[in-house]
Amino acid sequence: MADPTGEANRGALRLDFDRRLLLQFRGSAITSDAGLLPYRELDDAVGLTDTAANTLADARTGKNGRHRLAGLLRQSVFGRLAGYEDVNDADRLCHDPAMRWVVGDRAITGSAASASQMGRFETKWLSRPENLAALADLPGRWVDKVHQRRPPRIVVLDMDSSESPTYGEQEGGAYNGHFGCTCYHPLFVFNQLGDVERCALRSGNVHSADGWHAVLEPVIARYRGTVKRLFFRGDAAFANPEIYEFIEAEGIGYTIRLPANRVLQDRIGYLLKRPVGRPPLEVRRYFASFSYQAKSWKKPRRVVAKVEWHPGELYPRVGFIVTNLSRPAERIVAFYNQRGTCEQWIKEGKGAIKWTRLSCRTFAANAVRLQLHALAYNLGNFMRTLAMPKAAERWSLTSLREKLIKIGAKVVSHGRYVTFQMAEVGVPRQMFVDILSLIARLRAPPAPA
């Protein structure tokens, strides 16, 4: 792009198929991401990026820095939220009017950070050990900020792993037989609203539960004494007696899928016999509950079994869940099955935020990128759960990006005001009124005089 601010002194282009049409290029007065501004309003109302910047150490030693740390962090997070997962996009975004107002300060009248500035910020400054540790805490700190406005009575934590494919000689990339590719193997903890409580980047060939304590313990520590009940759910990868003992010591209710074995199947042998008579056309489900102690366990625990007979299938589908809850077996299974939404949130992170785009050479730089993607995901999810009217509260993060963020606007500057003339197509004015009204309710009350 020769002139990213627009060709103010060049003539319009005419289209031959209809000579009435003229094309003018005024990049400095047009934005395609005007919908980022409500997210910036939400950021300001809850106090997210400003608080985050205060926890990061500024490694710059010069005195001619153009942008504050908060502005650089906003550009990283909001850019990912808008679908720009590559730092190279900063060379264009730095001139975008919406991004300049999101970054604030000098960027409003000048430009936001360039690609080289953003590259140094993400791969050099944030990859320092103290900043990487602070970044790992930020998703949880942001969730705490939201909970200060809307305190929860119950929190349900879902832990799961995922894969981020790697290419070339990326540090820490390794072949994973389960996913069938060379990848990283990040670990995530979500709450029941879909917020990322904490995440960690790991080498591709580690077990799904590797490093679980370092990820889960800080999350539980934040909730000690602050919520009425805390629950944990995990798949069979987390069927580990060390996890059971840790969670039980914390007084947390849990449901964890248990791999089947001969002893467990013998306990429900009466449910595994094919029923007599013509098979019905509907699925038949049976439940059982019993006490069980594996050789590696220090004490017996409750196990719930579910057996499903599906039409046209010769053998039943069998699943086991270990739990310390006293609910009926059918309710235990229903509660565990809700952890499937955790996999849906991971898919949203991959599709809408592109958090698998970890293309740096060093492991530390890619760990930074994962944390920045998690922050962008949380900001998008906060908007969905806190500030969307009922007509749009079920929109996915991808729909929010395409309908709300990707709104074109013409920027008109006056003496005292700057007006973004929004295109009223996907999101009408009344929806913006409702969004801004819900965000206003989240602001902390003013301090007494």
- Does residue 189 register a pLDDT over 70? yes
Q: What angle do CA 78, 402, 354 make, to 5 degrees?
A: 55
* Mean pLDDT across 248-255: 96
Residue 379 has pLDDT above 80, yes or no: yes
Q: Are 181 and 356 in contact (CB under 8 A)?
A: no
Q: Are 392 and 435 in contact (CB under 8 A)?
A: no
Give the whole-angstrom CA distance, residue 235 versus residue 258: 8
pLDDT number for residue 27: 62
Instruction: For residue 382, give Cα distances in angstroms to 17, 147, 360, 378.
Output: 46, 11, 28, 6
Backbone angles phi, psi at 229, to 5 degrees: -135, 145
The whole-number pLDDT of residue 57 equals: 82
In 3-state terms, what secondary structure has residue 68? coil
Question: Is a pLDDT exceeding 70 seen at residue 63?
Answer: no
DSSP assigned state of 162? -
Read off the amino acid at residue 374: A
- Please, what's the b/e burial string for 255-289 (b: 16 or more CB within 10 A of its CB; e: otherwise)? bbbbeeeeebeebbeebeeeeeeeeeeeeeebbeb
Rounded to an integer, the average pLDDT of 177-194 is 95
- Mean pLDDT rounded to a whole number for the chain: 90
What are 396-438's pLDDT values in tens digits? 999 999 999 999 999 888 878 889 988 887 788 899 999 999 9
- Facing residues of 205 across strands? none
What's the pLDDT at 340? 86
Please calculate the CA angle 190-296-306 and round it to the nearest 5 degrees.
60
Q: How far apart are CA 378 and CA 361, in angstroms?
A: 26
pLDDT of residue 102: 93
Is 191 in contact with 266 (CB distance < 8 Å)? no
pLDDT for residue 7: 47
Which two three-digit tokens encode residue 306?
A: 């579910």
Q: How many Å apart are CA 24 and CA 211, to the nearest integer?
A: 55
- What pLDDT, on a 0 to 100 scale, did the predictor assign at position 193? 95
The per-residue pLDDT for 83 is 92
The amino acid at 256: I
Mean pLDDT of all residues in 102-108: 89
| Helix or strand run (H / E) with residue 258 | strand 253-258
* Assigned token pair, 308: 């499903």
Structure confidence at residue 1 (pLDDT): 45
pLDDT at 8: 47
- Give the range among 47-56, 209-218, 438-447 with minimum mean pLDDT: 438-447
* pLDDT score of 3: 52
Q: For residue 315, is it left (φ>0), alpha (ψ between -120 and 50) or beta?
A: beta
73-85 per-position pLDDT tens digit: 999 999 999 999 8
HSE-CB of 217 using CA atoms within 13 angstroms: 9
pLDDT of residue 105: 87
Mean pLDDT, residues 140-154: 94
Backbone angles phi, psi at 346, to 5 degrees: -65, -40
Q: What average pLDDT does the segment 255-278 reach?
A: 90
Proportion of the chain above pLDDT 90, given as a percent = 69
Beta bridge partners of 14: 22
Cα(190)–Cα(367) distance, integer angstroms: 18
For 10, the token pair is 């060049």
- Cα 186 to Cα 11: distance, rounded to the nearest angstrom: 51
Retrieve residue 428's tokens. 């009408």
| 42 touches 439 (CB < 8 A) | yes
User: Residue 99: pLDDT band by 50, 70, 90 thresholds?
Assistant: very high
Strand partners, 409: 31, 422
